[in-house]
Chain A
Amino acid sequence: MRSTILGAVIAIFGLAAAHASDKPLTALDPGQIKAGRMVYEKHCAVCHGVRAEGATSWQQPDAQGELPAPPHDPEGHTWKHSDAMLYRIVMQGWRDPFNKTTRLTMPAFAGILSPQEVRAVIGYLKTLWRSEQQRFQREESRNQSFP
């Protein structure tokens, strides 16, 4: 029952988030944000931190040439990216071309998270940003919205 309710919440949020770039964040339902937070805590926090603070020394490549997971809070750069880019990176992952390994730097979540869950977790991240950062990100997303 619980998962059914969560699924419904995420589905509703997905519809709302598709137009999030046009609306102030305060218009989002707290339940929708909560759904995104649950996704974050389950799948993202292990690398990006429980409080989205990122890995230690995230700006410096490690011994394998990989950049550690960045923060998603106001100190990071997630707020600079459009909805379309964030969605693509979560779904497809990304490999730093200067890695000394062949693995993805950011793992792909396609097949693990549904489109609605990806939109939900991005919606949750937006609540972590300062208002001017939220405004910046909305403008970046104006022509690059969620697919």
Chain B
Amino acid sequence: MTAVKKICGVLLVSLLAVTEAAGAGNASPIVALGFEASTQTLIKVDTDALYRSDDEGRKWVRTPLPPSAKGHTLTVAVSGKGGALYLAGPGVGVLRSEDGGLSWLARNEGLPEGTVVALSVHADQPDTVYAVLSRQGIFRSEDGGASWRLMDKGPRKSIVQFVHSNMPGSMQTGWFFAATTKGVSRAMDCFCGWRDAGGLSGKVSAVSYDPSQPQHVYAASSEGLFLSVNGGEQWTKTLSPPAAIAALIVTPSGTLYAAAGDGKLYRSADRAKTWE
């Protein structure tokens, strides 16, 4: 990672930004989704590029990922209120962009060598970011990634993806919902211990929550798509898109997007009752 830090320490300017239609799908699978609330911009990332759409996914502006991240990106996080983008993956560390992905800066001070498998921005604090390292645990930055601190080992099961939520009831400011190799795990953001969230037992590939109704949480596994309306206590199977789901995001207006492994993006405006 040291070499990557040096490479990424300088500004990485992308060369191309291309507009393309939505229906074509990606050449490579989508690995992450995000939503920038301040600009109402939907973001998707595949292994080669980051795509932005300000019309609910009808048209996309493609921006190539920095060379160090191509083929290595696992996760992206969007500071919904501040507009910063974070990108991470094996050998990539954490990268931050303040211009929509045109340029990236390494943000690894305090992060050990290792693989960042998941990222999430605090639901209400734009400069607070969380990174999961596969072996070390969960790190927190309160200064937009400038410095990091180990906070917790995380749940016993491996985290695949996770999200910070402002669901009420936390001792501190919110909750984490983690998609793990065995169900969904939940913890308050004071890191007061992880608990199983409901009875999902298989590997969960994606988890997200509805910002307008934070108790509403979605989880995707090989068994389908599930919705919990009580913060992960019980799950109900819903209609799933016709492909395995790699990433989920819910916009503040409640629209649910699901990225499928085949590169297609599905949209539901009615809590997964129908998909388009």
Contact = CB atoms under 8 A, between A and B. Distances in A.
A67 B193 contact: yes
Interface stretch (A8-16, A42-50, A77-85, A117-125): A77-85
B181 to A, nearest CB: 19
Nearest to B171: A94
B151 interface: yes
Interface residues of A, number: 14
A64 B192 CA distance: 19
- Range of interface residues on chain B? 10 to 19
A70 interface: yes
B275 interface: no
A97 B231 contact: yes
Given A85-B171, A85-B172, A89-B171, A98 B193 contact: no
Given A80-B151, A97-B168, A59 B193 contact: yes
Contacts of B172: 81, 85
Nearest to B170: A97
A61 interface: yes
B175 to A, nearest CB: 9
A70 B231 contact: no
A89 B152 CA distance: 21
A59 to B, nearest CB: 6
* Main secondary structure on A side of the interface with B: loop
B10 interface: no
Nearest to B173: A85
Contacts of B169: 95-97
Interface of B: 151-152, 168-169, 171-172, 190-193, 195, 231, 233
A61 B192 contact: no
26 contacts: A59-B193, A67-B193, A70-B192, A70-B193, A77-B190, A77-B191, A77-B192, A77-B193, A80-B151, A80-B152, A80-B190, A80-B191, A80-B192, A81-B171, A81-B190, A85-B171, A85-B172, A85-B190, A89-B171, A94-B171, A95-B169, A96-B169, A97-B168, A97-B169, A98-B231, A98-B233
Contacts, number: 30
Interface in A58-101: 59, 61, 67, 70, 77, 80-81, 85, 89, 94-98
A98 B169 CA distance: 9
Interface in A30-44: none
Contacts of B171: 81, 85, 89, 94
B109 to A, nearest CB: 16
Nearest to A60: B195
Given A67-B195, A97-B231, A98-B233, 5 more contacts: A70-B193, A77-B191, A80-B151, A80-B190, A81-B171
Contacts of A81: 171-172, 190
Contacts of A98: 231, 233
Contacts of A89: 171
Contacts of B152: 80
Nearest to A136: B149
A73 B139 CA distance: 22
Interface centre among B169, B191, B192, B231 (most CB of A within 10 A): B192
Contacts of A96: 169
